[in-house]
């Protein structure tokens, strides 16, 4: 039986958790279900915009807050989403995270439709999690109880919860949710859009140094992780004085200002998802400089899956579920969360080319055979039916 499935995220279209919901939605649509995905409009305006892509109806909803406040707290957005969705019927309503602009409309629609209500937990926002990464002490004091309340209060009331990591699985159990109502749903890999490419051709296309070792990093980063990355890159330059650090995407921290080698750091700025391939292909290796924090233990960095899909070996610190993945599959090397050890591991990957090539081939194979988003969507479909 085809299911009418509504997914809601607080993020803007094309950012953050939107990608988790989007990939699951497109794969569920491929399996014959009717998918609607509600996310925040990238543009700050009071209107809705709709588009349809790969079988998914995407509703770009208004949010009148500005800057960093556009993160799931706008009362106008909650109200407008709820009113917009009121005439529609759904079988499953899935709120990705529990910030108000996703959760409150989800609860209202599920009650009116007598639909199955689920929550997804893919970032630890509250006490002990990413709120502790905020540099401003006053912001931490204000946001800690708010984040914790919305993050934890409603899990047990939902029919089911999907979680991205083992840390969040155990936190969900501690909130009183029975194990049969929890699905560990790790991030997937987009093996169709992201593919291995030729290094030399990619560097020529992007006008990057032809022979210098290039370490890639994709996406955003926490402040402490930014400091770790800058210090690790400085240490790597002791091994490879001509190494370059390629920062792919709209990174929200000035790594160059933290490094002793700012001229060796290349920033792409914001790029379209469809343009990722040549940038990832240009890298010799990619890395994940994660400090051992609650925020990092609670999440699953999607960039690791992108690195795998691109067929690139990864140097990563042994934090959270990244450790289990890389100990299970030979797709890179693990280091302790300090600059000297991460630099050592990165240098070893750069030096041992034959072993690195094997890791690259394995990474792509594992992306296809284990982490393809289609597998995650099949597990999610089964979970929906089990709960119904």
Collapse the DSSP code of 194 into the 3-class scheme (helix H, G, I; strand E, B; otherwise coil) and give the result: coil
Structural domains of the chain, count: 2
- Helix ranges (H only) for the chain are 18-30, 75-85, 100-113, 137-152, 166-174, 199-206, 223-239, 255-258, 276-281, 294-297, 302-309, 321-328, 339-351, 353-369, 373-387
Same domain, 79 and 105: yes
Residues 182 and 230 grouped into a single domain: no
CB burial of 40-49 (b: ≥16 within 10 Å; e: otherwise) equals bbeeeeeeee
Q: Which domain holds residue 59?
A: 4-122+154-188+372-387
Residue 247 maps to a domain:
yes
The SS3 assignment for 264 reads helix
Query: Model confidence over 217-267: pLDDT tens digits?
Result: 999 999 999 999 999 999 999 999 999 999 999 888 899 999 999 999 999
297 and 379 housed in the same domain:
no
159 and 249 belong to one structural domain: no
The answer on pLDDT for 60 being more than 90 is yes
pLDDT score, position 1: 87
Pair 169, 265 in one domain: no
Q: Note whether residue 143 is domain-resident.
A: no
Instruction: Evaluate whether residue 239 is within a structural domain.
Output: yes
pLDDT in tens, 142-176: 999 999 999 999 999 999 999 999 999 999 999 99
Domain membership of residue 354 (yes or no) is yes
Residues 6+ apart with CB under 8 A from 139: none
Radius of gyration of the chain (CA): 21
Tokens of 185: 């749903």
User: Where residue 283 falls among pLDDT bands split at 50, 70, 90?
Assistant: very high
Same domain, 166 and 273: no
Same domain, 179 and 62: yes
CATH number at residue 323: 3.40.50.2000
* Number of alpha carbons in the 13 Å side-chain half-sphere of residue 38: 30
pLDDT category of residue 27 using cuts at 50, 70 and 90: very high
């Amino acid at each position: 039986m085809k299911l009418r499935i509504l997914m809601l995220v607080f993020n803007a279209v094309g950012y953050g958790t939107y990608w988790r919901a989007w990939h699951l939605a497109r794969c569920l649509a491929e399996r014959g279900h009717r998918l609607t995905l509600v996310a925040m409009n990238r543009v700050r305006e009071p209107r809705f915009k709709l588009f349809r892509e790969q079988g998914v109806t995407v509703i770009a909803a208004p949010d009148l807050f500005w800057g960093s406040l556009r993160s799931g707290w706008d009362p106008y957005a909650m109200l407008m989403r709820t009113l917009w969705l009121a005439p529609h019927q759904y079988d499953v309503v899935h709120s990705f995270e529990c910030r108000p602009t996703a959760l409150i409309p989800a609860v209202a629609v599920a009650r009116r439709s007598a639909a199955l209500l689920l929550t997804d937990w893919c970032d630890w926002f509250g006490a002990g999690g990413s709120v502790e990464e905020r540099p401003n002490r006053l912001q931490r004091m204000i946001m800690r109880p708010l984040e914790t309340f919305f993050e934890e209060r409603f899990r047990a009331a939902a029919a089911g919860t999907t979680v991205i990591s083992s840390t969040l699985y155990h936190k969900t159990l501690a909130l009183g949710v029975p194990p049969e109502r929890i699905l560990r749903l790790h991030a997937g890999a987009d093996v169709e859009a992201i593919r291995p490419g030729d290094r030399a051709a990619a560097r020529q296309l992007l006008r990057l140094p032809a022979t210098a070792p290039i370490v890639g990093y994709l996406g955003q980063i926490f402040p402490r992780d930014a400091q770790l990355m800058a210090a690790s890159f400085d240490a790597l330059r002791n091994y490879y004085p001509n190494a370059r650090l390629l920062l792919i995407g709209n990174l929200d921290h000035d790594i160059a200002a933290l490094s002793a080698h700012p001229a060796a750091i290349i920033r792409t700025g914001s790029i379209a998802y469809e343009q990722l391939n040549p940038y990832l292909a240009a890298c010799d290796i990619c890395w994940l400089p994660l400090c051992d924090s609650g925020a990092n233990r609670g999440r699953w960095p999607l960039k690791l899956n992108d690195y795998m899909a691109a067929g690139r070996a990864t140097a990563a610190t042994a934090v959270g579920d990244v450790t289990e993945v890389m100990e299970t599959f030979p797709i890179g090397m693990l280091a302790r969360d300090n600059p000297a050890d991460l630099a050592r591991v990165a240098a070893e990957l750069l030096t041992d080319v034959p072993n690195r090539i094997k890791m690259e081939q394995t990474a792509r194979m594992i992306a296809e055979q284990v982490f393809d988003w289609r597998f995650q969507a099949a597990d999610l479909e089964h979970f929906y039916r089990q709960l119904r």
